[in-house]
Structure 1
């Protein structure tokens, strides 16, 4: 458990430093550790909520969250995340989806935020609310927040400036994680809640510590691009391990 908590703290540090929660990587690490796959999304979503709650609050207090757009995207995605959490899935299918989402997550991290050009949003920007629905469903199904998929798309269509997109992604992850967790708990029944809480408590403490360090200090020691590359490398490696067995 000690080594797992250390890796969780490192994962939270890396993801928080680039504005995300890290839910898919938490699930993959638990899977590689041999934890019951039904517990994976529950523990991972709890960790997600812990990591992004602080950043969401800081963005809101700073007036950076574009509430109208963020609420529109999230209001469409959150019910889909709940349905994803409710959807029964076999272990092999769950792990395959998780591994594929991790590899895709790592690839999205390699898209530089500087690719966003200033100017008017592209015509595709108006379709982002509809695209947020399948992202929300996948989020609930495999225990992630989905913001890591949404943010690069928002950058590419010039939906808003970089800081507003980061604030939107944090809010998106937080709400989707809550809705996805609700679906997972209803699907699996109350019996797993105690098991998830007992096993996951040290990991939650670890991500609190790692997430705070990541959001407050990490960017002072490493360039932002270096952090993104490290996070992408970790994510792709863990995802490949799952897919290759």
Structure 2
């Protein structure tokens, strides 16, 4: 018998996968937000991180496929960000952050992600490619933070690319998707090297199935549509609710 809570979680994961993949993201921060609003919030840190990374692999992979297939991926743009972020994500995934510290870091991540979504504009703009040194620093910092917190990092990279005028909306989406995929894989490898992988296939299979469907439709939608204002507003609501929920539990 499937519980009502699990059904709601599956629906929410589907929605997050659709929304995030429509802008080239894997949805890691969204999955953490959903799980943080349920009984799964009581699970240990590595449990939350590994599911976020695993679902990222599915959704970001499909997002990259569609944006790349549509001709939006610029290898020269992605390369320095990815080269710096992947090893740093593995290092971050090796660290174990528990209890209140993790709650604070996750809450800050969710709030910043929401703010970035509100402040960024995905309209087409004139772009100027970043210096390689700048891309390496930005990629490395985001990669390390992603590994520690348990996300792919695209939620930070995408607005940075757009706000910095380093890429158009869809170029940023393509770069963010491959960035998320590789960082998530790197984070899982780091956690595995530390002997902290705890997968439950009875949850991973249904979780993975619904995000695959959501990511499929979202990626196809996003690779052909440039306006994402409504999508961003929904994501902001999800992220802010989850962030304040985690912080309220620290205070009470």
TM-score of the pair, normalised by structure 2: 0.86
> Offset at 1:219?
9.2
Tell me by how many angstroms 1:12 deviates: 1.1
1:1-245 correspondence runs (5 A): 1-35=6-40, 36-37=43-44, 38-114=46-122, 117-118=125-126, 120-121=128-129, 127-189=134-196, 192-193=198-199, 195=200, 197-217=201-221, 224-245=228-249
Runs of 5+ in structure 1 lacking a partner?
A: none
> Unaligned 5+ residue runs, structure 2?
1-5
Runs of at least 4 residues off by over 3 Å: 114-117, 119-122, 217-223
1:186 CA drift (Å): 2.5
Q: Is the 8 A contact 1:27 1:40 kept in 2?
A: yes
Describe the SS at the equivalent of 2:119.
coil
Q: Give, in whole Å, the separation in 2 of the partners of 1:224 and 1:119.
A: 19
Contact 1:28 1:242 (C-alpha < 8 Å) held by counterparts: no
1:59/1:213 Cα in 2 relative to 1: closer, same or farther (>3 Å)? closer
TM-score, structure 1 as length reference: 0.89
1:126, distance to aligned residue in structure 2 (A): 5.0
Query: How far apart in 2 are the matches of 1:119 and 1:79?
Result: 28
Kept in 2: contact 1:135–1:150 (CA 8 A):
yes
Q: After superposition, what is the alpha-carbon deviation per residue over 1:44-90, rounded to whole angstroms, capped at 9, x for unaligned?
A: 11111111111111222333211122021101001000011001211
Tell me the C-alpha RMSD between the 2 structures: 2.4
Count matched residues. 241
Is the 8 Å Cα contact of residues 18 and 228 (structure 1) preserved in structure 2? Answer: no
1:235 & 1:213 partners in 2: Cα distance? 22
CA positional deviation for 1:141: 1.2
| Matches of 1:45 and 1:131, distance apart in 2 | 20
1:170-228: per-residue Cα shift (whole Å, max 9, x none)?
110111011011112222445x13x3x33222111111111122223479999621111
Q: Secondary structure at the match of 1:39?
A: helix
Q: 2:3 maps to which residue?
A: none
Using a 3 Å threshold, how does the CA distance of structure 1 residues 39 and 133 change in structure 2: closer, same or farther?
same
- 1:108-167 alpha-carbon deviations (Å, 9 max, x no partner): 111232577415457x78512212111101111121110110121122222122221111
